[in-house]
Structures are given as structure tokens and as C-alpha cells.
Structure 1
Amino acid sequence: MFPQVRMRRLRQGKLQNLVRETTITADDLICPVFVDENIETPQEVPSMPGTYKLPVDYAADEAKEISDLGIPSIMIFGVPARKDESGSSAWGNNEVVQRAVRNIRNDISSRDMAIITDVCLCEYTTHGHCGVVDYDKEEILNDPTLPLLGKTAVSHAEAGADMVAPSGMMDGMVESIRSELDNNNFENIPIMSYAAKYFSAFYGPFRDAAESGYSFGDRSSYQMNPSNSNEAIREVELDIDEGADIVMVKPALPYLDILYRIKDELEMPTAAYNVSGEYAMIKAAAQNGWMDENKIIYESITSIKRAGADMILTYFAKDMAKLLK
């Protein structure tokens, strides 16, 4: 009791570091990279200041820069030159993600980089949805999509990816991908599943970057209702049973309660995606002089780690790594 107990005693100077409960390091970070085979020079994403789409030939240099900052892994998203109804350019041997992975893997300076690839169809389809579509019913078809995701994951592994990350929220996607990887002698390639991915308004800037806006309807039939918490536990449990090695919560900041529950109850390696809308809001406020950008970045990333994330996929990865240095 006061005055014997004074909580302020340990808030003085360097003493704070002795009792710090949550510590961030660059090893906690995964840096997203957009690779676009339609451009010849880097292009800034208008709704994501400081984030660029890169030509395929720039991928290895970008990976080296990220590695030099101490960040151990990247997530590659592709923007293809060709789209069709089935998203067939997602799984070809010489498509945008596959070429970028090979470029990075063949570059001596970035061989220690862990390359993760996003496995989805939305960037590659003319309709912008994450699966095969029945236009008459305006319905996204779950089961016909699964073998396409499996083919895509195998093509990424063949190109040299260290881990694949299915993000389409199709039921059974982890089992389908695990089977295809195993059947093609990639049983040691792990799966990071977007297991609890919500139907969120925070994805808008990403769709600008990845050119993956949908032409009809929305994604509420296959992404999770933002009102639901217990459903997230069920989704994650199913993906674990199907063979997921890492599970992910997306978005991060509006769903810290979900992140905490998943880590606490299921005790799995858990990732959180600090998404484009979260990034854009902070950037916009900082540019208007309303907030201290560096302090907000640090506080935001710390809150995600404190809630239970073992790894954080964030567009602030390079900024955060520089702050830590």
C-alpha cells in the first residue's frame, strides 16, 4: 500500500528497460514486397506513401536491402501482366511471383532471406475474387478453387519459396495445399495460413497496390464476420488439423482480442498482419502533423507483439527495423 508501494519507482530512466515485459526485434518482422511485371521502374502506391511496387528485376536488390536491416523474411505479392477468369497466371513456372522468387534465391547476397509467398487468386483473376466464380449465381465456388491453390503453392515451392501462405479463406485450402506439396516432394515446405482473416474495410489500399479489387459483390461469403470471435477459434483449429504450421490473424490492430485468444488458447506459432489500412491511417495522420509517426509505429507494433504475435507482417517493417537500430 502507498506510500510503501510506489509504482513510479521503476519508471525512472534506464530502470524501465529492466522491467520491460515486451521487446521487439527485427527478427519479429516480415516485410511485404509487391512485384509488378507491368512496370520498368518502382512506382509508389498513392494510398500507401513510402510503399512501392517493384519491377521483377528489382526483387533481389529489395530483398538485400531488407536483409541488411536485419529483417529475416519477406512476403511476396505479385501483380501479373495477364488475368483471366481462373487466375491461371498464378501457377505458371515463369509468372511474376515465380520469377521474383528465383531472382532472390539466385542472388548470393540474399540467400539467407526466408521467402514467403502469398497463395491466392484475387490478383490474377479478371473478377478480382479469391476463387473460381459462377457468374450466373454470382457465387465464389469453394471446392473447384482448391486444386488451383495447390498448383500455385507447388509452383512457388519449385521456384524456391521457403514457405507458402494461403490467404483466400477457402474451406479446406490448407489440406489441399499440404497434399499437393507432399505429393510433389515438398513435404518440408511449411504453410502459414491466413486462418482468421476478417471481411474488413482496412484492406482498401492493398487492393490499389495489388490491383485486386472485385468486379461484383464482396468477400463476405468467404471472409469472416468482424463481429465474431468464437468463429475465429474454430477456423484456426480447422487449419491446424489440416496441417497449418503457422496461423495468422488479419487485420491486426482492430483484432488484438482475437490474436490474444488464439495464442492463449491454441498455443500455435501465430502471425499477425498489420494491414494496409492501418498503415495508411498512420501515414496520413503523420503527414498532417497530427501524430509523431515513429512513436506511433513503435507503439502499434509493440501492441501486436504484446497481444501474442510471434511474427508481424507489416508495411512498417523497414521503418521499424531502422528505429530499432
Structure 2
Amino acid sequence: MFYPTFRARRIRSKEVFRNMVRETALSTNDLIYPMFSAFGKGIRKEISSMPGIYQQSIENIVEEAQEAYELGVPAVILFGIPETKDAVGSDAYAEHGIIQETIRALKKEVPKLAVITDVCMCEYTDHGHCGIIKNGDVDNDETLELLAQEALSHAQAGADMVAPSDMMDGRVMAIRETLDNNGYKHIPVMSYAVKYASGYYGPFREAAESTPQFGDRRSYQMDPANRLEAVREAQMDVEEGADIIMVKPGLPYLDVVREMRNQFNLPVAVYNVSGEYSMIKAAGKMGWIDEDRVTMETMLSFKRAGADLILTYHAKEVATLLHKGYEIDRASRCGCP
């Protein structure tokens, strides 16, 4: 039987060779860990749909953030559950709001940890939408003023980076100008540039208590069918001053992650969202998958698609596996197909 001169299996034959020629690398430096800070004391409430993830009061946030940092996770991104909500999301930009106080505590107790903040209104409004409601929909331009105030309050509290997730037109420019005009030119903006109206957000809405009380978010989040629109959205944010662009969700939109990598010479982030996390956890619990293997394979898929940064609820698990020298290659030794 004739074989070609090149045989692909030659290089696959030994683990040392497979490791030497591996095209995609994963590091703890790639990881950002989302955390949910809740008003009060002594709170550590597990999210029923997200095993291992908690709503936590500030002292417990600090403790877990320290644990993540010691594992090598360099950054967290904060989401807030305030004591009270109102129509204009007042706690989002209050000097002593839940996120502002959490930032101060983290920068005091874990000073080398990078603290990133989600900038949006949905967690703080009593209607659950991402801005000011007028005539049954979010008013884009009035919302920009509040988002800029929110980002500024986070910077004033000590945040290292702000990440607007609201999908209002023009919000990156509004935030950039407000930060620059108030002495925070050094604070980078990681824009949720491409955020789809997705069914994968369900568990997050439980975690952040941010389910819309009427309607949905399709008037401002993107249609899952659209790819070219993603390029236009990201281009706007780049022109307005974004330092990092993000795609959310992750797994269903790997093609869009690759499009961002090909189109823009900026760092690209991807959000491995709650629904993606919960599906792996559920299947792992049932014994249907090797949870560690699938988790690491998922992380590699983001990196292979072109992401530089991964926001993931798996961050501590991934860091632990990396420290143990876990290789995706171990699948060949576990009897798996």
C-alpha cells in the first residue's frame, strides 16, 4: 500500500513531540474571574444553577479573590447586588454603592489583583433593563450619562479597568471622555463590543438578580444571526476609544471571535458565559462527560479562535489544573475515544 512521504502520526507518536509542536497555549494570565458582590454581612449564597459560584458579601469576596490570586488568576470582574433598586439604578453610581465599596476592600486587601468592573444598569434598576426607560424602551442617550457616572465612580473607588456591557450606542466615547476629563486617562476600557441577545444568560440573571420585568433586550443586544454587524459594532467601539473588545457569549460565537481577531489589532476578550458553565457542570455531575477535560478543551477553543483573554467562572478550576500540569493530552491515557 502506498503512503505519502508525510505521515502526520509521526509527530503525534510521542507526548514530548506533541507538546513541542502544540499550536495553542493556555495560561493563568489569560483568565478573568467574574464575582457577584452582595450588600450585607456574612453572605455566601450558592447560585442554584451555577454550582461553585456565589453571591457573597464583601468580606467573602475578598477571601475568594485572594484565593483566586494565589492560584495565579490576575483579575476579577465585579457584578453588584445592591440593597435597593430603583428606576434609575442609583446604586450603580453611588459613592458608597456595593461595587464601589467592594473595589475599595479588594484594593486594600489584595492590592496586586486587577479589579475590573462591569458597567451597566440592569443589576441596579427595579425594571431589570440596562438603562432609563422611556415609552417602554431604554432611552439610549439619557442612559449614556448614567453609564459615564457609573464608570467614573468605579475609577474613583480604585478600579483598574471598566467594562461597559449595556450595548448603548456611543457609550464607550461617553465613558472615555468622562474618565479623561476627570483625571483618569490611565484607566482602560474593555468594551462588550459584540454582545448577543442570547439564551445562554439564564443562570447569570439568577446570580445578578437582573431579569427584565417586562419585554426583553433585543432592541439593544445583537441578533444571534448577524456576523457583519458584529464588525460594525466593534469598529464603533474601537473608534470611540476601547482598549479591549469582547465577544459575548463565547462557544456559540467562536466564528465571531476569529472575525474580531482578523479585523482588529487590539486585544480580544471572550466571555464564557453562565449557560456555558452550567451545561458543563450539569453534564459533569451526571457523569456524561469528563468535566476537567471538557473545561480545558473549551478554554483552548477560545484561545484557538483568537481570544487573548477569557472571562470564565471556571477560572479557579482552570488555574488549579494548570498548576497540576494538566494537559489536554491526558485524554489519550484515560480510555476516552
Q: Same fold (TM over 0.5)?
A: yes
Question: Deviation of residue 59 (structure 1)?
Answer: 2.3
Within-5 A mapping of 1:1-325: 2-11=3-12, 12-38=14-40, 40-107=42-109, 110-134=110-134, 137-325=135-323
Contact preservation (8 Å) 2:194, 2:230: yes
- Which amino acid is the alignment partner of residue 89 of structure 2? G
- Within 2, Cα distance between the matches of 1:257 and 1:2? 34
Question: Deviation of residue 41 (structure 1)?
Answer: 2.5
Question: Deviation of residue 2 (structure 1)?
Answer: 2.5
Residue 44 of structure 1 aligns to a residue whose secondary structure is strand
What stretches of structure 1 move > 3 A for 4+ residues in a row? none
CA-to-aligned-CA distance 1:41-67 (integer Å, 9 cap, x gap): 311100001111111122222221111
- Within 2, Cα distance between the matches of 1:237 and 1:106? 36
Residue 50 of structure 1 aligns to a residue whose secondary structure is strand
Contact preservation (8 Å) 1:38, 1:80: no
Unaligned runs of 5+ in 2: 324-337
- Within 2, Cα distance between the matches of 1:197 and 1:299? 23
Residue 14 of structure 1 aligns to a residue whose secondary structure is helix
- Within 1, Cα distance between the matches of 2:58 and 2:133? 29
- Which amino acid is the alignment partner of residue 113 of structure 2? M
Identity of aligned residues (%): 51
Residue 323 of structure 1 aligns to a residue whose secondary structure is helix
Question: Deviation of residue 38 (structure 1)?
Answer: 4.4
- Within 2, Cα distance between the matches of 1:238 and 1:312? 22
Contact preservation (8 Å) 2:41, 2:59: no
Contact preservation (8 Å) 1:80, 1:95: yes
- Within 2, Cα distance between the matches of 1:178 and 1:228? 27
Question: Deviation of residue 284 (structure 1)?
Answer: 0.5
Contact preservation (8 Å) 2:116, 2:162: yes
Contact preservation (8 Å) 1:119, 1:166: yes
Question: Deviation of residue 98 (structure 1)?
Answer: 0.5
Contact preservation (8 Å) 1:37, 1:81: yes
- Within 2, Cα distance between the matches of 1:17 and 1:159? 44
TM normalised by structure 1 equals: 0.97
- Within 1, Cα distance between the matches of 2:242 and 2:269? 12
Residue 169 of structure 1 aligns to a residue whose secondary structure is coil
- Which amino acid is the alignment partner of residue 129 of structure 2? H
- Which amino acid is the alignment partner of residue 259 of structure 2? R
CA-to-aligned-CA distance 1:156-185 (integer Å, 9 cap, x gap): 001100000000000000000001101110
- Which amino acid is the alignment partner of residue 129 of structure 1? H
Unaligned runs of 5+ in 1: none
- Within 1, Cα distance between the matches of 2:38 and 2:226? 35
- Which amino acid is the alignment partner of residue 130 of structure 2? C
What's the RMSD between the two structures over aligned residues? Answer: 1.0
- Within 2, Cα distance between the matches of 1:159 and 1:65? 22
- Within 1, Cα distance between the matches of 2:46 and 2:240? 38
Question: Deviation of residue 3 (structure 1)?
Answer: 4.3
- Which amino acid is the alignment partner of residue 84 of structure 2? R
Residue 311 of structure 2 aligns to a residue whose secondary structure is strand
Residue 175 of structure 1 aligns to a residue whose secondary structure is helix
Question: Deviation of residue 39 (structure 1)?
Answer: 5.6
Residue 25 of structure 2 aligns to a residue whose secondary structure is coil
